[in-house]
Amino acid sequence: MDFKLTEEQQMLQDTATRLVRDAYSFEAREHYAQSDAGFSLAFWQQLGELGLTAVPFPEDLGGFGGGGVDTMLLMTEFGRGLCLEPYVESVIYAGGLLMQLGSPAQQNLLQQVASGQLLLATAFEEPQSHYHLNDVQTRAEQTAEGWTLTGRKAVVIGGHQAGLILVSARISGDSRDEHGLGLFLVDPQAAGVERRTYPTVDGRKACDLYLDKVTVSADQVLGEPGQALAALRYQQGRAIAAQCADALGSMQEACRLTLDYLKTRQQFGVAIGQFQVLQHRMVDMRTELEQATSMAILAACYCDEAHSLERTRTLAAAKFIVTRAARNIAEQAIQLHGGIGMTWEYSLAHHAKRLVMLSHQFGDDDHHLKAYAALLDAA
Amino acid sequence: MKVLVAVKRVVDYNVKVRVKADNSGVDLANVKMSMNPFCEIAVEEAVRLKENGKATEIVVVSVGPSTAQEQLRTALALGADRAVLVESAEELTSLAVAKLLKAVVDKEQPQLVILGKQAIDSDNNQTGQMLAALTGYGQGTFASKVEVSGDSVAVTREIDGGAQTVSLKLPAIVTTDLRLNEPRYASLPNIMKAKKKPLEVLTPDALGVSTASTNKTVKVQAPAARSAGIKVKSVAELVEKLKNEAKVL
């Protein structure tokens, strides 16, 4: 297998590395996190101007036809810089659904997404759903004008800033049925929509979405009503691959900071990295990182393939391995640092929180291990 | 007006360089390489001249191994029109590079040649000046401002006492200082376009230039580690130490 990047990929990576290094110093990130948007609108605009928000879209939709590896290169740098922008949610996940299910008129929106002008958010989780995309209690009822939506969606990352929110709602069946799910493009300014915004543990912002008889016109429905689940799962797979790369960048930085600390901090007259028991722990962290790297690359290679059992299984395995590594590395990094590893003013603490957050978003390790086991039985 | 920009492939400025165990040189295995930051500034200046309608074509040239094509592609992605690589696997001295650039200048006949003032690997600060001597063109080194008007270029130079502005008749050589401009990022559309821009590969033999070096590297050593500072108890003690230990007063 050839792991060498093409010249274009190398340049894309260089651009992302330099951009994040210049725009995302620790102090700047703190400033962005405290702002109303919760991220840097200027940075988002710059991503749009440089074409980086257009990477995964096909050329006829205003994009550059990039694949999973191209996205991986970007996400790894965003993870290293602890970037707060909702790239995965807006560009990969919601953008992917528009690309897959959108009517030609809806796909026109992609040009705005690709240029960074339109921010999308995904509202697929509910308080009871616990990572199951089919567990949906929000109801959609057909009316003369289109549809009305009623229900509550939880942890909509970037939902407070989004121009449009993709909402899953049940058209028919019981709350955990695999059939009967619809996808709707909801204008957050519409009557009956309420957003309650809060910070997440990793310093980003999310909102809970309360829908009270929200009217959605028929042309705001994505795809065939009632058949949304397959596309939701497929696109979540792409989001998982991008998220694995995000975690990878953060884990690399956590390992780098920890190794640096072990070589610097003196105790009993020597650098603490001289102590064998700490060396063992550092080696364990690097071993986890290497495994996670392999799985993140595998996920990037598989995520744009057509739906198959093999693809689903690979992505579940990648998410499991990366999640486990992310949590272990976050915890070990704090242990090896001691108290300073938890201080607000030191970036490691924020990497640890980010890694814990990523371990839960789109399913934790238990969820994906079960999914993997079920797919083994199915094979 | 045709502008020629010279760029060099160097170790990325963010990498901590290490000396090889046998002290024969710097260890370059698996080290990230980039375009020399001063050369990025040179490319940016040329692109701005083109955007302002002063330049019509930007030719970017590098002297180095075949892998230097990566840096040339980056320059093309930043806005240069075509690239020339003078391929040489040897480590070349500033004079050899200047001679090769002179041959490229003779071939391309640019009105303006822009180079970085120095490369961050060897920090020689020689090539631009040597090229000016070889071509006989006027030189404006350490430029913090470049203004082309008609057949002359005004270059504001950063010098010890402040700033000096020189007016040079074209063709001329300019070397860039840090404050000349802030280089842009390569955008994705331009990265894709760079793939299709022409890149010509030449050899020193084809240019009729001998690159034989009269220098030999005897030994490369890492600088001594900085020792920890000390606290002094009083101003008098500080003055005493500066006078007798540091011998700077």
Domain ranges of chain A: 7-114, 120-224, 230-378
Question: Which of A7, A21, A51 has the CB atom closest to B187's CB atom?
Answer: A51
pLDDT value, residue A64 = 85
- CA–CA gap between residue A304 and residue A56 (Å, rounded): 10
Residue B12 contacts A where some CB pair is shorter than 8 Å: no
Measured between CA atoms, the residue of chain B closest to residue A21 is B14
Residue type, A234: Y
End-to-end CA distance of chain A: 26
Q: List, in sequence order, the alpha helices (H) in A154-307.
A: 229-264, 276-302
Find, among A281, A299, A288, A279, the residue nearest to A252 by Cα.
A288
Residue A309, SS3 per DSSP: helix
Residues of chain A with Cβ-Cβ distance to B191 below 8 Å are: 8, 11-12, 15
pLDDT value, residue A315 = 97
pLDDT value, residue A251 = 98
For residue A307, what is the enclosing H or E element?
none
Chain A residues at the B interface, defined by Cβ less than 8 Å, are 7-8, 10-12, 14-15, 18-19, 21, 49-52, 54-55, 64
Q: Which two structure tokens, joined as six digits, stand for A345?
A: 């003013």
Q: Does A11 sit within 8 Å of B73, measured CB to CB?
A: yes
Q: What is the pTM of this model?
A: 0.90
Measured between CA atoms, the residue of chain A closest to residue B75 is A11
Query: B171: cis peptide before it, omega within 30°?
Result: yes
- CA–CA gap between residue A354 and residue A115 (Å, rounded): 27
Residue B74 contacts A where some CB pair is shorter than 8 Å: yes
- CA–CA gap between residue A120 and residue A93 (Å, rounded): 9
Measured between CA atoms, the residue of chain A closest to residue B12 is A14
Q: Please give the full DSSP string across A179-240, using - where no structure is assigned.
A: S-EEEEEE-TTSTTEEEEEEE-TTS-EEEEEEEEEEEEEGGGEEEEEEB-HHHHHHHHHHHH
Q: List, in sequence order, the alpha helices (H) in B7-121.
A: 37-51, 69-78, 94-108
* Residues in chain A where the model's pLDDT stays below 70: 379
- CA–CA gap between residue A68 and residue A9 (Å, rounded): 11
Q: Does B14 sit within 8 Å of A21, measured CB to CB?
A: yes
Residue A364, SS3 per DSSP: coil
Measured between CA atoms, the residue of chain B closest to residue A53 is B188
pLDDT value, residue A134 = 95
Region for residue A229 given its phi and psi (left: phi exceeds 0; alpha: psi -120 to 50; beta: otherwise): alpha
Contacts of B179 by beta carbon, 8 Å cutoff, 6+ apart = B144, B158
Find, among A199, A261, A144, the residue nearest to A30 by Cα.
A199
Q: Does A11 sit within 8 Å of B77, measured CB to CB?
A: yes
Q: In angstroms, how far apart are the furthest CA atoms of chain A?
A: 79
Find, among A202, A359, A340, the residue nearest to A258 by Cα.
A340
pLDDT value, residue A376 = 87
Selected residue of B34, B191, B226 to mutate for chain A interface (largest A Cβ count, 10 A):
B191
Give domain B2-244's CATH number out of 3.40.50.620, 3.20.20.10, 3.30.1050.10, 3.30.950.10.
Answer: 3.40.50.620
Q: Which two structure tokens, joined as six digits, stand for A137?
A: 């209690």
Question: Which of A12, A19, A21 has the CB atom closest to B191's CB atom?
Answer: A12
- CA–CA gap between residue B45 and residue B115 (Å, rounded): 10
Contacts of A14 by beta carbon, 8 Å cutoff, 6+ apart = B34, B74, B186
Q: Does A55 sit within 8 Å of B187, measured CB to CB?
A: no
Shortest alpha-carbon distance between residue B65 and chain A (Å) = 16
Task: Tell me whether residue B234 is exposed, middle or buried, using C-beta atoms within 10 angstroms of its C-beta: 0 to 12, 13 to 18, 19 or more.
Answer: exposed
Question: Which of B14, B34, B191 has the CB atom closest to A8's CB atom?
Answer: B191
Tens of pLDDT, residue by residue over B86-145, are 999 888 999 999 999 999 999 999 999 999 999 999 899 999 999 999 999 999 999 999
Q: Please give the CATH superfamily to which domain A120-224 belongs.
A: Butyryl-CoA Dehydrogenase, subunit A, domain 2 (2.40.110.10)
Selected residue of A14, A70, A260 to mutate for chain B interface (largest B Cβ count, 10 A):
A14
CA torsion, points A66, A70, A75, A77, in degrees to nearest 10?
A: -130
pLDDT value, residue B97 = 95
User: Are residues B48 and B123 in contact, defined by beta-carbon separation less than 8 angstroms?
Assistant: no
- CA–CA gap between residue A351 and residue A149 (Å, rounded): 37
Tens of pLDDT, residue by residue over A26-67, are 999 999 999 999 999 999 999 999 999 999 998 887 788 899
- CA–CA gap between residue B62 and residue B43 (Å, rounded): 12
User: Are residues B61 and B69 in contact, defined by beta-carbon separation less than 8 angstroms?
Assistant: no
Shortest alpha-carbon distance between residue B191 and chain A (Å) = 6
pLDDT value, residue B168 = 95
pLDDT value, residue B245 = 87
Q: Which overall architecture, per CATH, does domain A230-378 show?
A: Up-down Bundle (1.20)
Q: What is the ipTM of this complex?
A: 0.85
User: Are residues A99 and A58 in contact, defined by beta-carbon separation less than 8 angstroms?
Assistant: yes
The CATH class for the domain spanning A7-114 reads: mainly alpha
Residues of chain A with Cβ-Cβ distance to B186 below 8 Å are: 11, 14-15, 50
Pairing status of strand B172-176 against strand B138-149: parallel
Residues of chain B with Cβ-Cβ distance to A18 below 8 Å are: 185
Residue B120 contacts A where some CB pair is shorter than 8 Å: no
- CA–CA gap between residue A365 and residue A344 (Å, rounded): 27
* Residues in chain B where the model's pLDDT stays below 70: none
Pairing status of strand B199-202 against strand B82-87: parallel
Q: Does A15 sit within 8 Å of B186, measured CB to CB?
A: yes
- Residue A64 DSSP class: -
- CA–CA gap between residue B55 and residue B53 (Å, rounded): 6
